[in-house]
Amino acid sequence: MSELTNQNVPNLPDDLNGVHIHFVGIKGTGMAALVEIFVHNGAIITGSDVAERFYTDEILEKLGIKPLEFSADNITDDIQYVVYSSAYKLDVNPDLIEATKRKLPCLLYTQALGSYSNLSYSCGVCGVHGKTSTTGLVGTILKHIDDIPSQILAGSVINSFGGTCTYTSPLIPTVAPQDKKTKSIFVAETCEYQRHFMSFFPKKIILTSVEPDHEDYYPTYEDIRDAFVDYICRLPMFGELIYCADDAGAVETALLAYNKRPDLHLVAYGEAAGGDYKLSFGQVKNERNEFTLGIFDKTLALKVPGKHEVKDAAAAVALVCQLIRYFGKHPADYAQKIAQGLLEFSGGKRRSEIVRHFTTPLGNDVLVLDDYGHHPTAIKTTLEGYRQFYSGRKIILDFMSHTYSRTQALLEEFAASMDTADVVILHKIYSSARENAADFTITGRTLYDKTVEHQRAAGTTASRHNAIYYTEEILDAKSIAQMELEKKLPPEYPDGYLFVTMGAGDNWKLGRALYD
């Protein structure tokens, strides 16, 4: 039985105060977030990772934690538990080899998260798209609701959390064991890859979307869909599933889960939903998306671009309102606070993140955004959101595809996903440690050729591209990008350029290198 499916996993103690836990791969986003949660609960934390500096180093430094380089010497006599990233193996990493030799309890990150989730009234946010934004939105709204004790863990830094991945309500005391008799809410982003979310103990689940992804682990749509069904079936008797009525995969998954578990309470949100969480889009005004939900009489607004973000907001509001009801209160009494929370949300790191704003030597205004979108659906919806939100700007997209298996399986979809951009720059495929490039015939140039082919076939009626470029290496595109940014803008783009770096790779470096 593999590490990921082994159910004989030690539980963390209910009271973490004074417990020494060593994190292997501590700089990972999820790992650093869990460290924040555990430190709040009084745990003593040490950790190890590679020497390269990551943005999570700043989070760890604020906690007074200095990551060590991997070594068996890191495993000291006072360590009681080890939590490790799935990127490292028990029989390869020196810290883990030593911990195993000492017979210390070793938990994967997802197992540690799952163990912690069993201490509270926990809610899992899942789906192929929108997990991080939805989790961040839930937390930002709950920040404004001061009578519900809550703790949030997102998969990236959320701006409204104060530059961290977590938020803990002042109602949850520092360095105190969880009281299982007290209603305390824990909301976490839960990942479908390798069925990691099966370690989590949800009382409510948000399901944003289901479609093919992670083809190295889920070869077919049915494989990934069935994983979500199994996760939903982890809900307790009369547990609640909040799902997107506008996503065909989410609807199918919800119905399949309900057929297995007719006790479940299904709550739909979106344009196709009825009742409390029926979504109606309004206008984009002053760089705000306005919308309404059935539950409130007032217009709500969001300061981040894209209809997909509005749908994430609808999911977040639905969960928050259902939690308010769980506490025996009325959502209508919290309408103003919910609206304030929505307006405070400004995204997170690599989620439509504004990284620069400058003027070129020839006087063109340039706004640089970076986004983690790496699936064709996410690319398409995000770019469409930018087109509406920044209608006065010409869009230049620099995209780097992530994983050979995903690019190969969704090649046609990738080629068609970038139609909204005026200019497209592509690169080599950003590989994954779990893949061997030699096993694939596809390359980044394959995607370039397919995108050019799609653009020619579609013409100007379906595709806006007036230029498509390819450079193998990211920074080799710097001169191309700067050449495009210096071109005279047509009248329909009075505001300047929007330069977007997108993908799960490291092409974000290009946006920061322009005109340096």
Q: pLDDT tens-digit profile of 419-474?
A: 999 999 999 998 876 777 778 888 989 999 999 988 888 765 555 667 899 999 99
Q: Mean pLDDT across the stretch 285-294?
A: 88
% residues pLDDT > 90 (the chain):
67
Cα(250)–Cα(269) distance, integer angstroms: 11
**Residue 493: C-alpha distances to residues 54, 289, 333, 463 (Å):** 36, 20, 43, 17
pLDDT at 1: 27
Helix extents (H) in 68-210: 94-101, 109-117, 131-143
Cα(307)–Cα(270) distance, integer angstroms: 11
Output the pTM of the full model: 0.80
Q: pLDDT tens-digit profile of 324-343?
A: 999 999 999 999 999 999 99
Report which listed range, 1-10, 148-157, 302-311, 312-321, is most confident.
Answer: 312-321
Confidence of residue 80 (pLDDT cuts 50, 70, 90): very high
pLDDT at 9 over 90: no
Q: Mean pLDDT across the stretch 44-49?
A: 96
Q: Mean pLDDT across the stretch 44-50?
A: 95
pLDDT at 72: 97
- Read off φ and ψ for residue 408, nearest 5 degrees: -65, -45
pLDDT at 292: 96
Cα(161)–Cα(172) distance, integer angstroms: 16
pLDDT at 12 over 60: yes
Cα(399)–Cα(329) distance, integer angstroms: 46
pLDDT at 177 over 70: no
Q: Among 54, 97, 53, which Cα is nearest to 73's?
A: 97
pLDDT at 216 over 90: no
pLDDT at 3: 37
